[in-house]
Structure formats: C-alpha cells, structure tokens
Amino acid sequence: MLTELSIRNVAIIDHLQLSFGPGLNLLTGETGAGKSIIIDALTLVCGGRASADLIRTGEDEATVEALFDLSGLPVLRERLQEAGLEAGEELLIKRTLSRSGRNRVYLNGSLATLGQLTDIGRQLVTIHGQHESQALLRPDYHLILLDAFAGAVELRQRFGAAFDRWRQLGDRLAHFDEQERDAAHRLDLVAFQADEIAAARLQPGEEQQLVEQQRLLANAERLSCSTGGAYEALYGGDQSLLGELKRVVAALRDAAAIDTALTPLHNLLDEGYLQLEDAALQLRDYASRIEADPEQLKAVEDRLDLLVRLKRKYAPDIDAIIALGVALEAELEELRGRSRSRGELEQELAAQRSLLDRLGAELGSNRRAAAARLEQQLGNEIRQLAMQHAVVQVAFEPLVEPRANGFEKVEFLFTPNPGEEARPLAKVASGGELSRLMLAFKQVLPEGEAPTLVFDEVDTGIGGAVAGVLGRKLKNAAASQQVFCVTHLPQVAAWATQHIRVEKRIDNGRTNTLVTLLDGPGRVQEVARMLAGEQISDAALQHATEMIEQSSGA
C-alpha cells in the first residue's frame, strides 16, 4: 500500500508531500490543476517512461519519492532480499530525472536499475489511465485475468512447470542427437585417454616424493662420503674431535674441583660433548643406510619422465590429471550407455508430453467454460457503467505446439457499439472505456496481485445515476485493495474514504499545484462545488451532504 508520495519539480508542481491510507483515495479539482500530474508522478516512481519535459521550467532536476507498506507482501520482500536490497516492512522508492539525462533509481537507499524498478512497480501498483500502456492492452494479461476468474491459477502453474520439464527433456534429446555422429570417435579417444591415465596409477603428491627420492639416489655416494667422513672426524679414533674434547672436559673437571667458578664452563663443555657424540652416532647410522642403487635410480627417473609426458598431454599437475581421469571414466560410461540412455530419455519425454497434454486439456476446458461466464458477468457490469451496448468476447486461438501458458492463445475482443465487428481492445477501446473495463474486471475477479490500483479518466463520458454506480464499484474494489481515482463527478467523489482537493495557484508569476486533505466539512464544500460550480448555494451544500451520507450508509 502507498503511504507517502513526495513530488518535487514535476511539471507545475514545486513541491508536494502527500499521505495516503487504505480504501478509496479520490483526487478532485479544476481541469489543469495538476491531478493527472500526480498520477504521472506515481507512474514514474513505479517504472514508467521518463521524459525531461516533465521537469519544472527553470529547474535542472525533478524527484519523486514513494513510501510503500510491504507488511502484507512477504513474496515481494523475499524478492528484494534475493536482489541484495534491504527489505523490511517498508520500501522507499526514489526516482530522479535530470535534464542532462543522468536519471537515477534508488530502492531503500540503494542504487537500482530501471528494470528492477519496473518489475517491483508492477507488483505494487496497477495504473489504468488514458495515457498509460495499460495492462488490458496486452493479450498475455488477458490470459492471466481469465485464469484468475476460472480459478485455474494453480493448474496453470502446474502446466508451466510441466512445460519447462518437457522442454528441458526435448533440449537434452536434441543435444544428444547432435552428439551422436561424433560419439564413436569420441568413444575411442576417451577410452584411450582413460586407459592411459588409469594405467599410470597416479597418486596425489607422488611427484614431489619422486623428486626427493631421485635427488637422494643420484647423490648417494657423495652423501655416504660426507656423512661417513664427518663421523670419522668426530668419533673415529683417539685423535678424533670427541677424543680431544673428552680430555679437555676431564681436565676442566679437575680444575673445577679446585675453583668452583669453573664449574659452569665445565658443564657447558660436558653438555657440548654429549651433543656432539649424539650427532656423530646419527651420522654413523645415516651413512650406514646410504647405498647406491642404479636400478632404483633409473626406475625413479623413468617414473618422473612418465609424469612429465602425462602433464604435457593432459594437465599441468598430477591432481588435475587424476581429476580428469575420473571425468573421463564417467564420460566413457555415458558413451557406452548411449543407446540405453537415449531410450530412457525418449520414454521420459513421451511421459512428460502425455502429462502436458492432460494438464493442457484440463486447463483449456476450464478456460472455455469460464470464458462464457466471464462474458456474461462482464456484460452485466459494463452496462451499469454507461456502456449499454458494449460487448466483451473471449477469443481462443488453438496452438499446434504448447507454450508455457497452455495450448491456446486468448485475447479479449471489444465491441463498443451495436452492429460493429468485435476487435482487439488495443484497436478500439478508448482510455476511459479501458478504465471502466478494468473496473468491471475488478468486480468479477478475485483480488488482484497489485495492492494499489489507480484509475484515471474512469468517469469519461458518464454522469447521472451511472456515476453513482461507478462510485459504488470503486468503493467495492477498495475493500480489498487501495484505490486511487481522479474524478470530476460529485457522485463519485461522495464515495471517498480519503478526499484530496488539487488546486492551482499563481505566486510571484509562477504557477504551482497545491493539495488539501479534506475533512468532513471540506468534503461537503468540495462536492457542492462540483455540483454547483464556484457559486455554492445552500441547496448545493444540502445535496452534497445527503450524497456523502447516503454513500457512507451504503
């Protein structure tokens, strides 16, 4: 629901700040006061077409902001979150127009695209007016309305899901057949590659281990000489380093017995002796394990050469080759089972088409049965709205192949006058007729998805008792959705839940639009003005009071 609307520098509007509530919000005022400009601003903030001509003369930028209550729209809040936008119980939309062409859209303070705004705007507001690209002009929307009337929305969704699955299976089969001619060659290649990789018996991390092993084997003699020589020098005889150090430690022990100040030095050398002795023994053990093995060295080098060849051929490292081998084995299994897989795919596709045909027949039957009832009920509604001779027909065009929404195209045809051929709405219906048609739809259809409806010029060409019927129907529509309407008829204005007067003033040579939220006496005064003109009589005031009281009682 729209709760706040701020307009700055749009056409003759300098700055307006409007608050709205639920129910029927009516805008009245003299022609040219700016009522339709307010609707244009709301259209802009919901993703409508922008033009620099809308910017107020002398200004470089225009801004429209709208605050919506999303507390009853959990699906929309979820979609906003999926788009990475803040989604609480309120949504602030801001749209700026610049003469430089650098227009901007903001959703809850975050920069957004016009496409995002248009998508969200459609879920928030439906605008029916003379200058809008109205939903009723789109045949795809006709099908949505018919399915809603038929109570077939869930069935349509099931059909759509079945259609998507059927199309996916068809695409898979087509792709399968495209690959068929190359399958035999691919099978030989994949089999060879998979066998070559499998035969190598690759292990993760083995290349590094082989490199280390190769280095040790290639330098076995050098390592043996180095470690063996070091052991001999440390521990090999009486002239060894440890032998000399042992004598030094013994002498220092005797000296420390005389002067205890030497004890720390003795302990330090004694500890060093033990560490050197341990190192010497480890060198001896290491030297004893080193053994030159030319055959083992060759085997390691051959293995490394194999790994180099495989890396050159398949992937830059061993882990990637192992992963490729797994993938090749899976592809090989798929290629070898192509005949079986194709047969299973054909069976699944046939079963899905059978399901699609069954759902499509049920959906089409529901639509045709509902179409007759819809034509009758719409006829009753539009005759009450000063279109006594107008007829709405639901035309079906069967499709050879299904689409996502069924096996038929649906379009509403319209005949405004007797004796004329029924033609598409887009070709024959005026803006006022379209608005009244949409109002008629709202009387016979379940509650729509957009929580806010806007009717502009809905009262064109009607008056008298029919105007009162129009007001009552607008109020009926406002029982389940917030409704905005621009009207010149007092019989309609009397039904307002919230009545807003729009007027034009000239200050310091500039024209500006002002709005006033009318209280009880203000409503009576405005309805009386609409009845009698600027010279308001007591009779007009009395008549206006009676009209408002009667509407409230109804």
Beta strand spans in 52-103 (E): 61-69, 90-98
* pLDDT of the residue at 284: 81
* pLDDT of 423 strictly over 70: yes
Which two tokens mark 508?
């310091």
Residues 160-179: tens digit of each pLDDT: 999 999 999 999 888 877 77
Any idea of the CA torsion for 144, 148, 154, 160, to the nearest 10 degrees? -10
Handedness of CA 346, 349, 350, 351 (dihedral sign): positive
* pLDDT of the residue at 554: 61
CA 79 to centroid of chain Cα atoms: 6
Q: How many residues does the chain have?
A: 554
Please tell me the least confidently modeled range out of 207-211, 270-274, 290-294.
Answer: 290-294
* pLDDT of the residue at 402: 93
Handedness of CA 240, 241, 244, 246 (dihedral sign): negative
Q: Which of the four CATH numbers 2.40.50.180, 3.40.50.300, 3.30.420.40, 3.30.160.150 does domain 2-130+431-517 have?
A: 3.40.50.300
DSSP 3-state of 257 = helix
Phi, psi of 11 (to 5 degrees): 55, -120
From the list 297, 279, 293, 296, the residue with the least C-alpha distance to 227 is 279
* pLDDT of the residue at 499: 94
* pLDDT of 294 strictly over 50: yes
DSSP 3-state of 10 = strand
Spatial distance between the Cα atoms of 194 and 543, rounded to a whole number of angstroms: 94
What's the rounded mean pLDDT across residues 307-328?
Answer: 90
* pLDDT of 323 strictly over 50: yes
* pLDDT of 363 strictly over 90: yes
Spatial distance between the Cα atoms of 86 and 83, rounded to a whole number of angstroms: 9
pLDDT > 90 in the chain, percent = 29
Spatial distance between the Cα atoms of 6 and 522, rounded to a whole number of angstroms: 23
* pLDDT of the residue at 449: 57
Going by pLDDT thresholds of 50, 70 and 90, the confidence category of residue 368 is very high
Any idea of the CA torsion for 527, 528, 530, 532, to the nearest 10 degrees? 170
Going by pLDDT thresholds of 50, 70 and 90, the confidence category of residue 448 is low
Count of CB atoms within 10 A of residue 502's CB?
A: 23
Q: Select, from the ranges 125-129, 379-383, 458-462, the one with the highest average predicted confidence (pLDDT).
A: 379-383
Phi, psi of 479 (to 5 degrees): -70, -30
* pLDDT of the residue at 130: 53
Tracing tokens 């050398």 back to the chain, one arrives at: 269
- Averaged confidence pLDDT in the chain: 86
Going by pLDDT thresholds of 50, 70 and 90, the confidence category of residue 133 is very low
* pLDDT of 206 strictly over 50: yes
Helix H or strand E encompassing 392: strand 391-403
Tracing tokens 């705007």 back to the chain, one arrives at: 121
What's the rounded mean pLDDT across residues 138-147?
Answer: 89
Higher pLDDT, 106 or 281: 106
* pLDDT of the residue at 532: 86
Higher pLDDT, 50 or 217: 50
Count of CB atoms within 10 A of residue 501's CB?
A: 22
Spatial distance between the Cα atoms of 104 and 173, rounded to a whole number of angstroms: 46
CA 10 to centroid of chain Cα atoms: 31
* pLDDT of the residue at 132: 43
* pLDDT of the residue at 134: 60
Going by pLDDT thresholds of 50, 70 and 90, the confidence category of residue 94 is very high
Question: CB-based burial of residue 367 (10 Å sphere; 0-12 exposed, 13-18 middle, 19+ buried)?
Answer: buried
Angle at 136 between CA 97 and CA 375, to 5 degrees: 165
What's the rounded mean pLDDT across residues 54-82?
Answer: 88
Residue intervals in the chain for CATH 3.40.50.300: 2-130+431-517
* pLDDT of the residue at 453: 86
Task: Tell me 409's DSSP state.
Answer: E
